[in-house]
Copies of this chain bind each other. A is one copy, B any other.
Amino acid sequence: MSDQHLDRLRAIVGATNVLSGADAAAFESDYRQVFHGRSLCVARPANTHEVSSVMAYCHANGISVVPQGGNTSLLGGSVPDDSGTSVILSLARLKRIRSLDATNATMTVDAGVTLNQARVKAEQAGALFPLRIGSEGSCQIGGNLSTNAGGTAVVRYGNMRDLVLGLEVVLPDGRIWNGLRGLRKDNAGYDLKHLFIGTEGTLGIITAAVLKLFPVPSSVSSAFLGLPTPEAALAVFSLMRRHLGTDVTAFELISSDAMTLVLSHLPNQASPLTDTHPWYVLIETSSNANQADAEAQLLAVLSDAMALGHIDDAVVASNARQAAEFWLIREEISDAQTKARGSVRCDISVPLSSIPQFIRETSAKVLSIAPKARMIVYGHIGDGNVHFNPLRPDDMPAEAFLGIHGAAIAGVIDHAASEMEGSISAEHGIGVAKRDELKVVRSREELEIAWAIKRALDPFNLLNPGKVLPTLSN
């Protein structure tokens, strides 16, 4: 039976584009090698029509399908279960940039185009595609959409959901919905694209999208601050929003422990500031003004903030190279943790106004569990989003730390976020890893509505089964 399925799939996508056995292994785990599964095979269609044929075949034969883009997700959403009965549908060969309309400020791309390719294409046309996340060289537009990717420019530009005007989607039964409209206003009927954005491939396969492009700002300025408290960081953010409005593009918090860790990971990189501080903030602004005027505007606000006691020290990048160094520090925190091994990674959000209380109270709770844990706390506090990742003490092995304290620490963090009307997954999604936790933090009504939608579009639960939605008891 399996052989027959493989033959039929080969007939659709070509023999070289059906991978099984050892050839499929790379697709059966995520890139971090945290989640592992088995598949019937990997199918690699070349275009929307082939995706449709694969889906129709699988639907007719009761075969479940796991869509996969760059496979860079963090919670197992793109990895099959252990059954070995699913087809992994790789979108990697759908990589045409279909069109770019500079006047309409839109670009239509296939799902398999990488984020970096999309950004470069926009740049070549004198425009900006603003999504900015660490994995941009590997992650694909289809994955960015199905996970509603966030990143470091959300304060100004929004999440991936806000950066798309239209979609093309293959439904679980193989029908194609062409919603590739490039319109900024369209109230003619239900806006179906939102069904497929952020639902992690459980309702349909996104095969192409119309992306919004933005004007390239005249100047970009960066600053690195040392501050006494998260309260002070929030006060600086409010001041900046008041005076610089939507020019505020990124506002990233870094804890003292995170700074120490990342600088030890980057031996050639010194801190931008002379002294150490309890907290750091990396700011980026985008402006229509020229570089000198924009920096003067930024400095004026920083001076005000310093006079008010919110900032202890600050340096504005004097050129693009120095700005890149600021960003290197921020972006290498993730790899520094991976290398250090033994961190409990949480990706929470709360209302901005609750950020200081959240950090203070949750840090205390974590330290009461593991008094010597290093508090690797960083992220997009301009969006209320903090990566709260307690790390094993220097003298405790990763396995021991995670085994003894991991679950308790994660529980404390997610519970605190939920209690403060926050989210247990601000940008990483749910995948399989946080699926059952969703049952605890979301209301019965919310999960029932989600299941009603799932059943309406995928009645046989064949599309990315076991992801996102927890099983509900009667």
A interface, CB within 8 angstroms of B: 101, 103-106, 147-148, 150, 154, 158-159, 161-162, 171, 175-179, 181-192, 194-195, 197-199, 214-215, 217-218, 234, 238, 241-247, 286, 288-289, 297, 349-354, 380, 383-385, 421-430, 434, 438, 441-443, 445-450, 452-453, 455-457, 468-469
Known contacts A183-B351, A245-B215, A245-B217; A430 and B106 CB within 8 A of each other: no
Chain B residue numbers with a CB within 8 Å of A384 are: 104, 183-185
Taking a contact as CB atoms closer than 8 A, the residue among B159, B177, B430, B447 that contacts A185 in the complex is: B159
CB of A247 within 8 A of CB of B288, answer yes
Q: Who on chain B is nearest to A148 by CB?
A: B187
Taking a contact as CB atoms closer than 8 A, the residue among B161, B195, B354, B430 that contacts A188 in the complex is: B430
Taking a contact as CB atoms closer than 8 A, the residue among B188, B352, B428, B469 that contacts A105 in the complex is: B352
Per assembly, the copies of the chain total 2
Nearest-Cβ distance from residue A379 to partner chain B, whole angstroms: 10
Nearest-Cβ distance from residue A175 to partner chain B, whole angstroms: 5
CB of A177 within 8 A of CB of B443, answer yes
Taking a contact as CB atoms closer than 8 A, the residue among B190, B383, B427, B450 that contacts A453 in the complex is: B190
Nearest-Cβ distance from residue A201 to partner chain B, whole angstroms: 12
Known contacts A288-B297, A453-B456; A199 and B190 CB within 8 A of each other: yes
Chain B residue numbers with a CB within 8 Å of A424 are: 188
> Which of A184, A380, A442 neighbours the largest number of chain B CB atoms within 10 Å of its CB?
A184
Chain B residue numbers with a CB within 8 Å of A182 are: 351, 421
> Which of A103, A188, A217, A438 neighbours the largest number of chain B CB atoms within 10 Å of its CB?
A188
